Structure 1
Amino acid sequence: MAEKQAPHRLLIRKAASTVESPAAEPTLIKCPNCGKTNRVPAAAAGHPRCGNCRQDLPWIVNAGDIDFATVAEQSPVPALIDFWAAWCGPCRMVSPVLDKLAVERAGRIKLVKVDVDRAPQLSLRFDVQAIPTLMVIVGGKVVARQAGAAPAAVLRSWLDEALAGSRR
Structure 2
Amino acid sequence: MASEKVLTFSDDNFDTDVLKATVPVLVDFWATWCAPCKAIAPVIDAIADEYDGKVKVGKVNVDDNPGTPGKYGVRGIPTVILFKDGKVVDQVVGAVPKAQLEALIKKAL
Cα distance in 2 for partners of 1:121, 1:107 equals 28
Matched, 1:60 2:60: no
Listed one character per residue, the Cα deviations across residues 48-92 of structure 1 (whole Å, up to 9, x for unaligned) are xxxxxxxxxxx4211111111011111121100110001001001
Q: Could you say which residue in structure 1 is the equivalent of 2:88?
A: 142
Aligned residues: 109
Q: Does 1:163 align with 2:108?
A: yes
Q: Secondary structure at the match of 1:163?
A: coil
Which is higher, the Rg of structure 1 or of structure 2?
1
SS of the counterpart of 2:108? helix
Offset of residue 115 of structure 1: 0.3
> Residue 82 of structure 2 contacts residue 104 of structure 2 at CA under 8 Å; is this kept in 1?
no
Deviations 1:85-142 (A, max 9, x none): 0100100111110110111111000012100001101111011010000111111111
Where relative contact order (Cα < 8 A, 6+ residues apart) is larger, the structure is 2
- Distance in 1 between the 2:37 and 2:30 partners? 6
Matching residue of 1:95 = 41
Equivalent in 30, 36, 41 of residue 84 of structure 1: 30
- For 1:163, the aligned partner's letter is A
SS where residue 131 of structure 1 aligns?
Answer: coil
Q: Check the 8 A contact 2:19/2:83 in 1, yes or no.
A: yes
**Identical amino acids, percent of aligned pairs:** 36
Task: State TM-score, norm by structure 1.
Answer: 0.61
Question: 2: distance between equivalents of 1:157 and 1:140?
Answer: 19
Amino acid at match of 2:108: L
Q: How does 1:102-113 map to 2 (within 5 A)?
A: 102-113=48-59
Distance in 1 (CA, whole Å) between partners of 2:86 and 2:100 is: 24
Please report how far the alpha carbon of residue 154 of structure 1 lies from its aligned counterpart in structure 2 after TM superposition.
2.2
Normalising to structure 2: TM-score of the pair? 0.91
